[in-house]
Amino acid sequence: MLRLMKSSVLTLALLSLSFRLYAGGEEVVVVYNTKSKDSKALADYYATKRNVPRAQVFGFELTTGEEISRAEFRDGLQKPLAKKLEAAGLWRLGAMEVKTPGGETAHQEGRVVASKIRYAVLCTGVPLKILRDNNLKELDDEKMRPEFRRNEAAVDSELIWLPLLNQKHVLAGPMVNPAYMATNTALIHPTNGVLIVTRLDGPTLAIARGLVDKALEAERDGLWGRAYWGQ
């Protein structure tokens, strides 16, 4: 009986979390690769099912491989996406004052100060990994331990800090997540420097579409099943 009660509590908690984190179509931008028919088909399918406005579905001409060069990522996806978001009025850039511990203004930095969107959905066909650029030299490289002097990254991870693109961030080494340890989901927002990036993918287009359908089914009918764990 105790395990059954715990299972019920866990199920209710997961359902509560899923409802709380659900994003309406107006909060989402969908990104696809124009060189891939499956990528566009999946983007259109998701946008239709989730009621995403057509003006929030963006296609970019990218390599069809899983890996992309740093230059192609920057010039073909990262910067163009940021420009489209601003041009479409989905977010607004501005200057924000950075204070010292004493409350004085240290400097101003450009960042997103208002945003209608919180999420980006990358569809199958959008590359996964940014290759290392050995020609990229950054001043702070010399201050890092040798094992941190690397600039390869996941595409999804690099797009998470898109709201901070106008700031000069060192690409090598670790980067502090401004939403780290945040328990209030409202803080995970472009105005706080974080764009939630998700990926919709699968071995086939049919399987990827099925993920959309199953998520909608769970939201409509609820999540059902058993969960067990020991003491």
Residue range 147-169, pLDDT digits in tens: 667 778 999 999 999 998 887 77
CB count, 10 Å around CB of 104? Answer: 8
Residue ranges making up the domain that contains 37 = 24-206
pLDDT of residue 4: 33
Burial category of 170 from C-beta neighbours within 10 Å (exposed 0-12, middle 13-18, buried 19 and up): middle
Condensed to tens digits (0 to 9), the pLDDT of residues 103-128 reads 776 667 778 999 999 999 999 999 99
Residue 15 vs residue 90, higher pLDDT: 90
Residues 6+ apart with CB under 8 A from 110: 93, 94, 95, 96, 166, 167
- Let me know if residue 104 belongs to a domain: yes
pLDDT of residue 12: 36
Calpha distance 66→80 (Å, rounded): 19
- Let me know if residue 220 belongs to a domain: no
Q: What is the mean pLDDT of residues 64-75?
A: 95
- Let me know if residue 219 belongs to a domain: no
Burial category of 10 from C-beta neighbours within 10 Å (exposed 0-12, middle 13-18, buried 19 and up): middle
Task: Confirm if 149 and 137 have CB atoms less than 8 A apart.
Answer: no
pLDDT, the chain, mean: 83
- Let me know if residue 223 belongs to a domain: no
Please determine, for residue 8, whether its predicted confidence score (pLDDT) is greater than 80: no
- Let me know if residue 166 belongs to a domain: yes
pLDDT of residue 90: 96
DSSP 3-state of 230: coil
pLDDT of residue 110: 76
Structure tokens, 195? 């764009």
pLDDT of residue 22: 56
DSSP 3-state of 63: coil
- Let me know if residue 221 belongs to a domain: no
Split into its structural domains, the chain has a count of 1
- Kindly report the length of the chain: 231
- Let me know if residue 182 belongs to a domain: yes
